[in-house]
Amino acid sequence: MIATIEYNSRKLKIDLSKPLDISMPLRASKSNVNAWYIEAPKIEPEKDGDWVASVKDGACINFNNINFNPHGHGTHTECVGHITEKVHSINQNLKQFFFLAEVITVAPERLNGDSVISKKQIQFALGNKKRDAVVIRTIPNTKEKLSMQYSNTNPPYLLKDVAVYLREKEVKHLLIDLPSVDKEKDECQLLAHNAFWNTKGKLRMDATITELIFVPNTVEDGTYFLNLQIAPFENDATPSKPVLYKII
């Protein structure tokens, strides 16, 4: 189904029948992606005495409780409330869900023993393009990212000047296939988070960071129409399902 959408005075044609899902599924498994030193997510039927809310155990319904952490168990979208004393809600601050996005692929560089993404790399990938959202895919890009156990592995991260650059380019939505835009252990400095949300100035309340996405290799670099779907949690972060659409 082809749709014509007017976006910022520009008419875009997209094929709604060919969504490109760049979220990770959440599974009750130790092979589920995991970060931040927490246990695997759990999906278990409610119990009331001997009664178990599972059809296979004799109930007429499946009625599961889900125990997970949005930051550590899969694709999630967070707002500035993630790092402020006042816990702002993603559900209250993300009010638009469609954006013009640029997908870029970068190979993290080595710096002082770390793997980092530099401003030079992002500048080269984006050029003069002005986008509401930037989707960063890192390489190597294998399906192992879907089950990666990131705790204590010091994954790649963004240098602070990348976040400043993206903020100055008025990028509102940053999506990345890593557990964080910041270094795993940085003495709670959170340099990229703070720079992107401008915590030393006027807070960017409607800006978001989405982490732990997975962009298949079949998705080419370029411009897409992004639907950033979130669950309506009154929390700093929520599980999310970003979906890309090719522009025809």
Q: Is 179 exposed, middle or buried (0-12, 13-18, 19+ CB in 10 A)?
A: buried
Q: What is the pLDDT of residues 207-221, one digit of tens each?
A: 999 999 999 999 999
What value does the mean pLDDT of the chain take? 97
| Residue 169's pLDDT band (cuts 50, 70, 90) | very high
| Residue 10's pLDDT band (cuts 50, 70, 90) | confident
Q: Looking at residue 8, what is its pLDDT?
A: 84
Q: Looking at residue 163, what is its pLDDT?
A: 98
Q: What is the pLDDT of residues 105-151, one digit of tens each?
A: 999 999 999 999 999 999 999 999 999 999 999 999 999 999 999 99
Superfamily of domain 2-27+70-246: Putative cyclase (3.50.30.50)
E strands, the chain, are 2-7, 10-15, 20-21, 42-45, 47-48, 51-52, 64-67, 76-78, 98-106, 109-111, 114-117, 133-138, 157-158, 173-176, 208-211, 222-230, 237-246
Q: What whole-number distance in Å separates Cα of residue 170 and Cα of residue 172?
A: 6
- Domains of the chain, by residue range, sit at 2-27+70-246
The answer on pLDDT for 7 being more than 90 is no
For the segment 37-48, the average pLDDT, to the nearest whole number, is 98
The answer on pLDDT for 42 being more than 90 is yes
The answer on pLDDT for 3 being more than 90 is no
Q: What is the pLDDT of residues 193-243, one digit of tens each?
A: 999 999 999 999 999 999 999 999 999 999 999 999 999 999 999 999 999
| Residue 65's pLDDT band (cuts 50, 70, 90) | very high
8 Å CB contact between 116 and 109? yes
pTM of the entire predicted model: 0.97
